């Protein structure tokens, strides 16, 4: 966050004596001055929603510049409001979410950080394109935006050109131009005692490499099945076939905010609306009904969609506890062979 703002200011401040109001920012309809001010507006909006724990709609809050503020003063406002958001992000607990309209209606602090970085990078690009100034942010910043809030976009040869293409600001060899775009925050599905928190590509990569994915796990977690599932999801992302709503979820206990397992889909539904699910719990969390509770919540969410008609799970014949879990969640046994016992739950 701080690096993105510093990079923006470094390239814009030398051009602050130029006319920004009479120059259009890149492919936008806004002027360069309006676009730069929008960055500060975004910082204030994100800060206030996170600090106020706003879950529905935006706060009735606006900011403005004092009469006579020049471009130097405007950039001072961008710097100050960026510091305000950075402080808010540091002070916000991991489980807190606040309203954002993109896709699933809310974001956590990491989602807001990624969105803020996207605003800085993309609108600095717009302003510098309008002013005829060269700007290229660090690849790590562009990649962080892609792996946090563009899980539906297949990675390209380089992150910055891919981000520009994904937001309708550039071309990418072999891919059609983008005219309608948006980003995804991670989906959260509530259950009785826990939340199913969608894993983003950045988190999946960390889990697959042996990290904690940014979650605080109870003893023994994450279990190997969650790491494997994260690896499969990452492979789908890198192959350009990942659908964020049909990914992997971390099971987070609401009472203490600790992760106890993983659950999710093997892929998006097939042409018949059939989709396979899998799950695991850390050993310390087993025997408390968490898996069946989470599975019911996930099944209810999935079967309420128009593109899902049935869920199925294949379980090893020796894994009787897992068979009990799917049975308690309403699944019925439909077949058995050398690969395992198949259970299915059909929608109404």
Q: What is the DSSP string of 206-221?
A: HHHTTS-TT--BPTT-
Q: How many domains does the chain have?
A: 2
In the listed set 97, 131, 166, which residue is the last one of a domain according to the structure? 166
For residues 294 and 153, membership in a common domain is answered with no
For residues 288 and 335, membership in a common domain is answered with yes
222 CB contacts (<8 Å, ≥6 apart)? Answer: 207, 212, 213, 215, 250, 259, 261, 262, 282
For residues 34 and 151, membership in a common domain is answered with yes
Q: What is the pLDDT of residues 106-139, one digit of tens each?
A: 999 999 999 999 999 999 999 999 999 999 999 9
* H helix runs in the chain, sequence order: 2-12, 32-51, 71-91, 109-131, 139-149, 159-166, 201-208, 224-238, 290-303, 320-328
Residue of 87, 101, 83 lying closest to 39 (CA atoms): 83
What is the span of the domain harbouring residue 303?
188-346
For residues 215 and 109, membership in a common domain is answered with no
Q: What is the pLDDT of residues 11-70, one digit of tens each?
A: 999 999 999 999 999 999 999 999 999 999 999 999 999 999 998 888 888 999 999 999
243 CB contacts (<8 Å, ≥6 apart)? Answer: 152, 268
pLDDT score of 86: 98
Global pTM?
A: 0.94
In the listed set 107, 133, 166, which residue is the last one of a domain according to the structure? 166
For residues 150 and 21, membership in a common domain is answered with yes
Mean pLDDT of the chain: 95
Q: Tell me how crowded residue 277 is: count the other CB atoms within 10 A of its CB.
A: 22
For residues 24 and 154, membership in a common domain is answered with yes
For residues 8 and 153, membership in a common domain is answered with yes
Q: Is the pLDDT at 7 greater than 90, yes or no?
A: yes
Structure tokens at 218: 């109870």
Q: What is the pLDDT of residues 228-277, one digit of tens each?
A: 999 999 999 999 999 999 999 999 999 999 999 999 999 999 999 999 99
For residues 152 and 207, membership in a common domain is answered with no
């Amino acid at each position: 966050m701080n690096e993105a703002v510093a990079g923006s200011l470094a390239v814009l401040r030398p051009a602050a004596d130029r006319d920004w109001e009479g120059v259009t920012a890149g492919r936008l309809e806004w002027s360069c001055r309006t676009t730069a001010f929008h960055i500060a507006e975004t910082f204030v909006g994100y800060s206030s929603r996170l600090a106020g724990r706003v879950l529905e709609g935006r706060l009735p809050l606006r900011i403005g510049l004092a009469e006579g503020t020049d471009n130097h003063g405007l950039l001072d406002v961008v710097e100050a409001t960026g510091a305000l958001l950075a402080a808010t992000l540091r002070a916000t607990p991991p489980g807190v979410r606040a309203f954002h309209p993109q896709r699933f209606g809310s974001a956590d602090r990491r989602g807001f950080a990624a969105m803020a970085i996207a605003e800085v990078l993309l609108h600095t690009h717009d302003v510098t394109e309008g002013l005829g100034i060269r700007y290229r942010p660090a690849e790590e910043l562009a990649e962080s935006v892609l792996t946090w809030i563009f899980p539906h976009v297949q990675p390209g040869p380089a992150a910055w050109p891919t981000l520009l293409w994904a937001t309708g600001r550039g071309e990418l060899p072999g891919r059609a131009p983008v005219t309608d775009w948006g980003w995804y925050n991670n989906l959260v599905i509530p259950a009785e005692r826990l939340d199913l928190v969608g894993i983003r590509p950045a988190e999946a990569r960390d889990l697959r490499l042996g990290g904690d994915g940014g979650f605080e796990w109870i003893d023994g977690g994450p279990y190997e099945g969650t790491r494997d599932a994260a690896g499969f999801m990452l492979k789908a992302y890198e192959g350009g076939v990942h659908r964020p709503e049909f990914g992997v979820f971390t099971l987070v206990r609401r009472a203490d905010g600790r992760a106890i397992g993983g659950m999710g889909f093997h892929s998006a539904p097939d042409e018949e609306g059939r989709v396979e699910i899998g799950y695991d719990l850390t050993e310390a969390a087993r025997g408390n009904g968490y898996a069946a509770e989470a599975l019911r919540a996930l099944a209810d969410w999935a079967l309420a969609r128009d593109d899902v008609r049935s869920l199925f799970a294949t379980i090893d014949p020796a894994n009787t506890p897992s068979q009990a879990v799917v049975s308690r969640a309403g699944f019925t046994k439909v077949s058995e062979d050398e690969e395992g016992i198949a259970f299915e739950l059909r929608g109404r």
